[in-house]
């Protein structure tokens, strides 16, 4: 089972996004030349990349810019169209007065599998105690959170909100909350390794490419910026494959992961096994 | 007279040769122009248009040739963040292969039919797929 844990649904044509919603997605994500993406395209891309399932990560920006990058309902609709391919996540703007109701509905009625939050875009600090109720709800329903972490290249985003160290208190105070610091918290990859080593409820993903090509960038990030054996020996249960589609591209990203000098069993975990543990809560590893 | 058409499709692979001849023949047969010139032009910079014999072995050799000349693991400048796209430039091989391949082909239209040679096939060459692609088909001539 190969799972891409980081895919943005805001451009999917079958969700019948309006022209206004498309323009909003382009502006909010800074993807100025990305247009509607047909489901047929994703199906073929998944076949080429030998990917079985995709996590769809929408984003609720109602209190900051008055819109959505895919709504929870649209994600549930996509899952209904192709339940074999899609694993739907929810999103909620934490500043909404009805945030808890929205999230509860997403988990109970829409059957979404987790929560996506973007501190830099939604403008909150993850260790703010105002977030506690949301974290408690996720624990109550056994749903993981995928946080954007590290730099964001999207417009109107400040990195200070998503620095990996702003997540330590969350990991410490909510040990039963599984959460992913997406994009490996780049450029703070060592800090993310520290958090994963210290807190086994912290995961990360490989959806990061800011210089060079995927093979070169991963060689720098996983072989120079951190020790070349850190993942293999100590963190292999907590790293998940993610592509950041459509900003980055699945085929070249996953090829670089498959060519990494890791044991096959480690690659299997990164490419899918860890994502399944992340969703449901897997066994603990010493 | 000018008869403008487009063919839009989603390609299947990262690199592939997709035969377009049958679709183009149908457009020619349905066109009011009986004698003239047909232009097949890709609207993309990581695809090409080429003409060759439709044999599996040749299709494989052609793609292998491009891969050998422009390897995925080569060093390219076009591997950096582009502000105008808000995304990484990750497809230098697609651009270079498209340049080598060429973007168009031209054929005569005679008595309402496409004048292809017996061994000739018109291909859309995909070098950065799968993606939705559009090819412009323009026929210029007389009714």
Give, as one character, the DSSP assignment of residue A284.
-
State the fold for domain B2-142: Jelly Rolls (2.60.120)
Contact between chains at A34 and B131 (C-beta distance less than 8 A): no
pLDDT band at A14 (very low <50, low <70, confident <90, very high): confident
Report d(CA A115, CA A107) in Å as an integer: 9
Round the average pLDDT of chain B to a whole number and report it.
97
**Token digits of residue A269:** 């975990």
Question: Torsions phi, psi of A60, nearest 5?
Answer: -95, 115
Q: How far is B126 from chain A (nearest CA, A)?
A: 13
Buried b (16+ CB within 10 A) or exposed e, A32-46: eebebbebebbebbb
Pairs from A129-134 (Cβ < 8 Å, separation ≥ 24) = A130/A94, A131/A94, A131/A170, A132/A173, A133/A99, A133/A100, A134/A92, A134/A94, A134/A99, A134/A100, A134/A103
At residue A261, the pLDDT reads 94
At residue A17, the pLDDT reads 84
Mean pLDDT of A180-202: 98
At residue A283, the pLDDT reads 67
Query: CA-nearest residue of chain B to A210?
Result: B81
State the fold for domain A3-280: TIM Barrel (3.20.20)
Query: CA-nearest residue of chain B to A39?
Result: B10
Query: CA-nearest residue of chain B to A152?
Result: B86
Please check the confidence at residue A33 and state whether its pLDDT lies above 80.
Answer: yes
Please check the confidence at residue A134 and state whether its pLDDT lies above 70.
Answer: yes
Find how far residue B29's CA is from the centre of its chain.
20
Q: How many helices (H) and strands (E) does chain B have?
A: 3, 10
Whole-angstrom CA distances from B98 to A63, B47, B94 are 45, 5, 6
Global ipTM: 0.85
A260 part of contact set with chain B, CB < 8 Å: no
Give the CA-trace dihedral at A128, A171, A228, A279, to 10 degrees: -110
Burial class (CB in 10 A: 0-12, 13-18, 19+), A178: buried
pLDDT in tens, A35-44: 999 899 999 9
Report d(CA B134, CA B131) in Å as an integer: 10
CB contacts, 8 Å: A29 with chain B = 86
pLDDT band at A15 (very low <50, low <70, confident <90, very high): confident
At residue B34, the pLDDT reads 97
Whole-angstrom CA distances from A190 to A130, A195, A200 are 28, 9, 15
A246 part of contact set with chain B, CB < 8 Å: yes
Q: For chain B, give every domain's residue range.
A: 2-142
Q: How far is B10 from chain A (nearest CA, A)?
A: 6
Report the residue from B73, B87, B91 with minimal CB separation from A31.
Answer: B87
pLDDT band at A286 (very low <50, low <70, confident <90, very high): low
pLDDT in tens, B36-91: 999 999 999 999 999 999 999 999 999 999 999 999 999 999 999 999 998 899 99
- pLDDT over 90, % of chain A: 92
pLDDT band at A71 (very low <50, low <70, confident <90, very high): very high
**Token digits of residue A42:** 């994703």
Strand (E) or helix (H) holding A88: strand A86-88
Report d(CA A7, CA A23) in Å as an integer: 19
């Amino acid at each position: 089972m190969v799972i891409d844990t980081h895919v943005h649904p805001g451009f999917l044509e079958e969700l019948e996004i309006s022209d206004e919603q498309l323009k909003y997605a382009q502006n909010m994500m800074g993807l100025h030349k990305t247009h509607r993406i047909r489901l047929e395209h994703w199906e073929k891309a998944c076949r080429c990349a030998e990917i079985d399932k995709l996590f769809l990560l929408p984003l609720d920006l109602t209190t900051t810019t008055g819109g959505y990058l895919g709504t929870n309902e649209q994600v549930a609709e996509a899952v209904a169209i192709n339940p074999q391919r899609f694993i739907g996540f929810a999103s909620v703007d934490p500043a909404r007065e009805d945030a808890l109701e929205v999230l509860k509905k997403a988990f109970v009625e829409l059957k979404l599998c987790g929560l996506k939050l973007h501190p830099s875009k939604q403008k909150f600090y993850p260790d703010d105690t105002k977030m506690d109720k949301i974290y408690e709800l996720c624990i109550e329903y056994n749903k993981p959170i995928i946080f954007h972490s590290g730099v964001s290249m999207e417009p109107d985003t400040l990195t200070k909100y998503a620095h990996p160290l702003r997540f330590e208190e969350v990991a410490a105070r909510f040990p039963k909350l599984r959460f992913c610091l997406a994009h490996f918290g780049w450029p703070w990859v060592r800090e993310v390794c520290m958090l994963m080593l210290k807190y086994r409820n912290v995961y990360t993903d490989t959806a990061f490419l800011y210089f060079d090509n995927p093979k070169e960038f991963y060689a720098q990030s996983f072989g120079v910026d951190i020790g070349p054996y850190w993942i293999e020996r100590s963190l292999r249960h907590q790293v998940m494959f993610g592509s950041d589609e459509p900003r980055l591209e699945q085929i070249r990203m996953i090829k670089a992961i498959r060519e990494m000098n890791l044991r096959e069993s480690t690659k299997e975990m990164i490419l899918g096994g860890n994502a399944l543990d992340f969703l449901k809560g897997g066994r603990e590893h010493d | 007279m000018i008869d403008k058409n487009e063919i839009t499709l989603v390609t299947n692979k990262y690199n592939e040769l997709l035969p377009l001849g049958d679709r183009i023949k149908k457009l020619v047969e349905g066109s009011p122009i009986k004698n003239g010139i047909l232009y097949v032009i890709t609207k993309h910079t990581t695809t090409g248009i080429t003409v060759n014999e439709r044999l599996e072995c040749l299709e494989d050799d052609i793609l292998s040739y491009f891969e050998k000349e422009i390897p995925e693991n080569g060093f390219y400048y076009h591997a950096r963040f582009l502000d105008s796209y808000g995304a990484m430039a990750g497809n230098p091989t697609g651009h270079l292969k498209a340049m080598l391949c060429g973007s168009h082909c031209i054929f005569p239209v005679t008595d309402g039919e496409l004048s292809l040679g017996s061994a000739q096939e018109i291909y859309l060459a995909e070098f950065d797929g799968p993606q939705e692609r559009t090819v412009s088909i323009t026929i210029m001539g007389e009714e």
